[in-house]
Amino acid sequence: MGESGDSRGRLGLDAKPGWAQGCGVMNLDTIDIKAVARDFGTPFYLYDLDSALAHLHALQAGLPDYVDVYFAMKANSNPDVLRAWLGHVAGLDVSSAGEIEMAVAAGHSPSAMSFAGPGKTEQELRVAIERQVRLLSIESPTELRRASKVATELGKTATIAIRINPQFTPKEFTMKMGGTPSQFGTAEEDAPALLEEAKTTKGVRLDGIHIFSGTQCLEIKGIIDNIRQTLAIASRLSEEHDLRPSFVNLGGGFGVPYFAGQEAIDVHALAREVGELLRQAPTEHPRLRDTRFILELGRFLIGTFGIYVARVVDVKQTRGKRFVVLDGGMHHCFPATGFFGQLVKKNYPVVNLSRADGEPMAQELVGPLCTPMDSMARNITLPRLEIDDLVGILSAGAYCYAASPLLFLGHETPPEIVVYEGAYKLSRARKAPTQLV
């Protein structure tokens, strides 16, 4: 990339250099960001699908052949990202009828989808059952009865899993969905009644158990402890209710580093330890002897393989602070503001793509919106940014484009470019707000 050198040299000095070591990060030195900016304009997203697929294959290499990796498309529903997984993942985890239709349009079969999420409407269940989605995760007695009604009306049988909210979630998971009162699934202590009801409910076939404890775990020990607990719960409930589930959805929650001091999980070590544990499962849990295990992963598969790039349009020094104004902001990359689940604002890893060796200094990075929420990095130390320089926000492959208020204040949407099989491709074009309403 011209003046690039070591990509770690362009990271904000607040970011620990170890962030870019180990497995599962995009290599900025192989991507000509300046050429992309020249050809497509700024701001934009770019996804390195070649590196993402290599990362996926490294994980799969350590797993038994009865473990299926599903991509959780809520993390990134870009059509070319979805197409890239074809033939590489066993299926998709979807969370709405809209996602089902988007996945089908990208070439995925509903027979390789798992549909989870609270509050599925009758219409969404109708779409899923008509299209014969492989596995419906049932999250409440109401949803079970609603699925039964729809399936009976359609003259079909819906294959279901009962989603269970476990009593405990390992402490290493920074965002916990289990172990607390939650809208997700049925509480572990209430699961027996729902399992028994499902066994005799018309129009459904109970064929699986789904347990999702939490997300953003960066320690292999926590992941292993969580899978071990999930296997124990699934085995105990299967024994108590005379089940031999075809599927046990182990959830996911494998984390990626966003902030200073966080280290990427070594995918090879992770695959080895998860693989060893799951190879023991059929022997240790006889009721799971013929079970396929699902790992539903979104952030871990694509999160660190995306970058959001914006251009500096103004620099102003005021009241002791240096503000760098970008042509893109929270409307495109909302999680970087810190308002997407952070209790205390911490900066995403940010790159000065134009001045690797400039004078390091503290700067405030803001977007072009007329709201103080549009703060992309606070007091971050970077090589001095000047007008027309390019800034990259890393780890922007998951829950960024898809989770941002793209219509806020009527700006254009950012285009999405993918790198696949060594070639650059415009996947989603820049759109004016009038094209979206």
pLDDT tens readout for residues 233-264: 999 999 999 999 999 999 988 999 998 888 89
Q: What is the mean pLDDT of residues 161-179?
A: 72
**Total residue count of the chain as it appears in this document:** 437
Give the pLDDT band (50/70/90) at residue 172. low
Biggest CA–CA distance in the chain, Å, is: 70
- Residue 344: the pLDDT is 66
Q: What is the mean pLDDT of the chain?
A: 90
Could you write out the three-class secondary structure of 4-42? CCCHHHHECCCCCHHHHCCCCCCCHHHCCHHHHHHHHCC
- Residue 25: the pLDDT is 74
Q: Which tens digit of pLDDT belongs to each residue from 102-139?
A: 999 999 999 999 999 999 999 999 999 999 999 999 99
Q: Any idea which fold 109-297 has? A: TIM Barrel (3.20.20)
For residues 222, 302, 345 and 214, what is the CA-based torsion angle, rounded to 10 degrees? -30
HSE-up of 323 (CA within 13 Å, CB side)? 13
> In this model, does residue 211 exceed pLDDT 80?
yes
Q: Is residue 256 within 8 Å of residue 304, measured between CB atoms? A: yes
- Residue 177: the pLDDT is 60
- Residue 30: the pLDDT is 85
- Residue 426: the pLDDT is 97
CA 298 to each of CA 71, 158, 198, 254, 319: distance values in angstroms, whole numbers, following the listed order: 5, 25, 29, 9, 42
Q: Helix, strand, or coil here: 251?
A: coil
This model's pTM is above 0.85: yes
Considering the segment(s) 7-47+304-435 as one domain, its CATH architecture is Beta Barrel (2.40)
Please report, for the chain, the start and end positions of each structural domain, with discontinuous segments joined by +: 7-47+304-435, 109-297
Q: Which tens digit of pLDDT belongs to each residue from 2-54?
A: 333 333 233 333 333 333 333 467 888 888 999 999 999 999 999 999 999 99
Helices (H) and strands (E) in the chain, counts: 10, 20
Partnered with residue 138 across adjacent β-strands are 162
Q: Is residue 251 within 8 Å of residue 274, measured between CB atoms? A: no
Of 437, 385, 402, 380, nearest to 13 by C-alpha is 380
Positive or negative: CA dihedral 211, 275, 20, 46:
negative
Burial degree of 133 (CB within 10 A; 0-12, 13-18, 19+): buried
Alpha carbon 43 to its chain centroid, in Å, reads 22
How far is 131 from 154, CA to CA, in rounded Å? 11
- Residue 216: the pLDDT is 83
Show the DSSP H helices in 208-356 as ranges.
Answer: 220-240, 267-284, 299-302
- Residue 274: the pLDDT is 97
Lookup result for tokens 């492989």: 134
Lookup result for tokens 């208020």: 405
